[in-house]
Amino acid sequence: MSASTKPYMLRALYEWCTDNGHTPFLVVWVDEHADVPREYVKNNEIVLNIAASATQNLRIDNEWVSFSARFAGVSRDIWVPVGNVMSIFARETGEGMGFEVELNATAPATPVLQPVVEADAVEDTAALKEKEDAPPRPSGRPSLRIVK
């Protein structure tokens, strides 16, 4: 069985966003395996700003997305299983990619992260939806289609 392409796509789209001067955002399905600030979770989802200016020690490996950030001035370590990532997109254009949530995948043990935090890393889901320049969020499950 080959490794999932999802973490590779996340890393590539993160790099594409930063190379083009865009702000990369992750939409994450929150369950017991995701370590995120629960007060910002709406409908089991959270939208996270993962730009270099908003995070410290961002790491997107094959099993986890992890970083440190400030939420309302409070330093937090964030751990999200790659299987819980629903999409990554550029805030300015809405361009990005949606993914299947892999809830049946067993999350590996959370590794230790060095706590260093500098900037805010979350934008409330409601505030994101209120922004006029933000594209409307599609409903339903994410899917891919072949465009010729």
CATH number at residue 10: 2.30.30.220
Pairing of the two strands 45-49 and 85-90: unpaired
Q: Is residue 138 part of a domain?
A: no
Locate 48 and state its tokens. 């996270």
Q: How many residues does the chain have?
A: 148
Identify whether 67 is part of a domain: yes
Confidence of residue 123 (pLDDT cuts 50, 70, 90): very low
Domain assignment present for residue 141? The answer is no
Neighbouring CB atoms inside 10 A of 88's CB total 28
pLDDT band at 108 (very low <50, low <70, confident <90, very high): low
Q: Domain limits at 65?
A: 6-130
Task: Report residue 73's pLDDT band, with 50, 70 and 90 as the boundaries.
Answer: very high
How far, in Å, are 10, 15, 121 from residue 5 at the CA level?
Answer: 9, 16, 25
The answer on pLDDT for 93 being more than 90 is yes
Q: What is the pLDDT averaged over residues 117-128? A: 43
Instruction: For residues 47 and 4, give the distance between their C-alpha atoms in angstroms, rounded to a whole number.
Output: 22
Number of domains in the chain: 1
Across 20-33, average pLDDT = 96
Q: Kindly state the tokens that stand for 121.
A: 């890393």
Report yes or no on 140 lying in a domain.
no
